[in-house]
Structure 1
Amino acid sequence: MQTNKLTASALLICTCVIWGIQPMFAKFVVREMSPIPMVSIRYTIVALTLFAMLAWRGEKLLPPRRTWPALFTMGILGVCINNVTQFTGLQYSTVTNFTIIATLTPIVTALLSFVLIHERLHRLQWLGICSSLCGALYLLSNGSLAAILTLSFNIGDVLFFTSQVAWALYSIIVVRIIDDVSPFAIVAWSGLLGSLTTAAGAAYFGHFELPSLLSPLALGSYLFVIFAGGLIAMIFWNKGTGIVGPSQAAVFMNIMPLVGIVCGVLFLDEHFLAAQAVGGVLILSGVYLTTQYRTVAYRLAKYFTRRQRKRQPLR
C-alpha cells in the first residue's frame, strides 16, 4: 500500500512539473492557432497514438459498455471544457493569473468530492490543503498580501476558474472507472470523444478554423503540449488519481507555481527570493501532510502520549 502511494506521488509530481511548464508553451501556440482546433487536433493525435499502443500491447480497444457514459462525460469535461476554456483564457489573461487560480483546484476538488462521492478528509489533510494553498499564494505574491488584493481579474480568469472546476469533476469520475478501464484507454477514449465533440460543436457554430503553417517556435511548443502535457501527463494523472483519490491528487497541483519559479531561476536567470523559499516549504509540507496524514497522525499521537506519561506523578 505504501509502495503504491509512493508510486502515485512520483507520477503526480511528474505530471504537475509538466503542467507547470505547459502554460508557457501554450502561450506561444495560441498566438498563431485558435484554441478549438488546437484542442481538437491535440487530443486526436493523443488518442490515435494511444490506440496504436493499446493494439501493440494486445489490450482490448473497446472499454466495457457501462463505462461509456463516464468516458463521454470525461471527454466533455477534461478535454472540451477544461482545455478550451484554459487556452482561450490565455488569450485574455496571463500565465501568472492562471497559476494563481489553479491553486484553488484542491479546495474545489475536495468540496466536490465530499458532495458527490462522500469522500471524507482527515483534519490533517485539510490542514495540508490550506498549507499548500497559502504557500502557492505566498510564492506568487512574493510574500505581499497587498499584491494578491490588488490583482485585477477579467474574462480570461473566469475561464480559468471554469477550467479548474471541469478538471475537478473529471478527476472525480476517474476514480469511478479506473478499476474497469486502464489509464491508457481512459485517456484515449475520453480524448477522442472530447476532441470530436469539440470539433463538431465548433463546426456547427462556425468557429472551427484550420490553422495556418506554424512557426518553428509555435510548432515545437505545440508538440510539447500534445505529447508531454496531453499524452504522458494525462496517463500519469489518471494512474496516480486512481490510487490516492481526487482530493489528495489535486493538492499536487500546487507544485505548479514552484515549477515556474525553478524554471525561471534555471533558464531565465531570475533570482531566488526568500519568499519563494517560504512558499516552497509550505507547498511541499502541505503535499506531505495530505498524502502522509496517517504517518503524521501516528507520530503526533505517539509524541503526546509520551508527554502525558512523563507528566503523570509517580505512585
Structure 2
Amino acid sequence: MEKKLWLTYGMLTLATATWGSAFIAGKVAIQSFEPSTIAFIRFFGAALLLFPLMWLMDKEKIKPTLKDYGLFAVLGLTGIAIYNICFFLSSKHAPVIKSSLFIASNPVLIVLLSGLFLKEKITQNNIIGMLIALTGVTFIITDGHLVTLLQMGFEPIDFILLGAVISWALYSVVGKIVLKKYSSVVSTTYAVAFGTIFLFPFAILETSWLDIQQAPFNVWIAIAHMSVFVTVVSFVMYYHGIKEVGAAKASIFINVMPLSAVIMATLFLGETFTWAHAVGAICVLTGVYVGTQTKKTNLPKKKLEEKVVS
C-alpha cells in the first residue's frame, strides 16, 4: 500500500513537472500562432492519440449516458477550453509574476471546493503543506523580491486570471466525480475531445491556412511536445493521482509546475538560477512532503500488547 502511494506521488510530481515545460514550448509556438489556435492544435493532436489509447486500455467499455456526456463536456469546457484561453491571454497581456502567482493559487481553491462539494477530509498537514509550497512558489516567481507583489494594482486582466484559476479548480473537482465511474484515460479522452470542439471556432476565427503553411518545423515540434507529453501522458497521470489520493491532496503537486518551469528556463533559455529560486525550491518540496503526510493512528494498548505477545 505504501509503495503504491509513493508511486502515485511520483506520477503526480512527473505530471506537474512536465506541465512546466509547456511554458518553454509555448514561447516557441506563440511565434507563429495565436493562443486559441495553439490550444486547438495541441488538443486535436492529443485527441487523435487518446482515442486509440482508450480503446486499447479501457477493458470495462462502459457506455456513457447523456448525463456522463454532460459531465465530460463540463470538463472539456473548464479544464481544456476556458483554462487554456485564459492562460494564454494572461501570458500575453499580464506580467509573468502576476499570472504565475494566480495559477499557483489553484490548490487553495481546489482544497476549498473539495471540502465543500466532495466532502474530502482536509487535514492540518494539507493546509500547512499548501501554505509552505505557495510561499516557495512566491519566492520563485518574484525572485525573492516579495515587495513586487504589493506594488501591483488591480487590472482588468485579473478577471481573466481568476477565470483560469476557477476553471482549473472546477476541472479537478468535477473530474473526481467522473473518476468514480471511469478510468483516468477515459475521463481525459472525453474531456480533451469536448475541449477541442469548444476551441475550434476560436481557432477558425484567428488563423488562416497560410499561417499553418508558414509555421516553421520547431513550432510543430513544440506543439507536438505539448500534445503528447504535456497533455496525453501528464493529464492521464494527474487524473490517476486524483482518483487515488483525492483532488485536494493531488492539487498540492501543482506547485511543482513553476519550479519545473524555472529549472527548464535555466537549462534551455539561458536564464539565471538565483538564491531565491533555491529557497523557493526547498519550500515547494517541503510543502509537498508535509501536505502528503497522513497521521498514523496508534494501535490500542490492548492490541499492542497482543501483538508483542504473539
TM tier, smaller: 0.7 to 0.9
After TM superposition, the structure 1 = structure 2 runs for residues 236-255 of structure 1, keeping only pairs within 5 Å, are 236-255=237-256
Q: Which residue is 1:85 aligned to?
A: 86
Change (3 A) 1:8 1:229: same
Query: Aligned pair count?
Result: 294
Please tell me the residue identity of whatever aligns with 1:239: H
**Unpaired segments ≥5 residues, structure 2:** 299-310
Change (3 A) 1:58 1:92: closer
TM-score, normalisation: structure 1? 0.84
- The answer to whether the 8 Å contact 2:81/2:198 transfers is yes
Displacement of 1:146 in angstroms is 1.2
Q: Which residue is 1:207 aligned to?
A: 205
Confirm or deny that 1:159 pairs with 2:157. Answer: no
Alignment partners' CA distance in 2, 1:70 and 1:208: 28
- Please state whether the residue corresponding to 2:205 is helix, strand or coil: coil
Confirm or deny that 1:173 pairs with 2:171. Answer: no
**Unpaired segments ≥5 residues, structure 1:** 299-315
- The answer to whether the 8 Å contact 2:109/2:166 transfers is yes
After TM superposition, the structure 1 = structure 2 runs for residues 27-106 of structure 1, keeping only pairs within 5 Å, are 27-57=27-57, 59=59, 63-65=63-65, 66-106=67-107
Q: Which residue is 2:26 aligned to?
A: 26
TM-score, normalisation: structure 2? 0.85
Displacement of 1:148 in angstroms is 2.2
1:19-66 superposed Cα distances (whole Å, 9 cap, x missing partner)? 112122113222321222322232222122111123344746664315
Please tell me the residue identity of whatever aligns with 2:92: Q
Displacement of 1:268 in angstroms is 4.3
Q: Which residue is 1:229 aligned to?
A: 230
Please tell me the residue identity of whatever aligns with 1:7: L
Change (3 A) 1:163 1:99: same
Change (3 A) 1:153 1:12: farther
Quote the RMSD (CA, aligned, Å): 2.4
- Please state whether the residue corresponding to 1:144 is helix, strand or coil: coil
After TM superposition, the structure 1 = structure 2 runs for residues 6-21 of structure 1, keeping only pairs within 5 Å, are 6-21=6-21
- Please state whether the residue corresponding to 1:293 is helix, strand or coil: coil
Alignment partners' CA distance in 2, 1:159 and 1:27: 20
- The answer to whether the 8 Å contact 1:92/1:155 transfers is no
- Please state whether the residue corresponding to 2:295 is helix, strand or coil: helix
Change (3 A) 1:89 1:270: closer
Please tell me the residue identity of whatever aligns with 2:278: A
Q: Which residue is 1:111 aligned to?
A: 112
Q: Percent identity?
A: 22
Please tell me the residue identity of whatever aligns with 1:15: A
Displacement of 1:7 in angstroms is 1.8
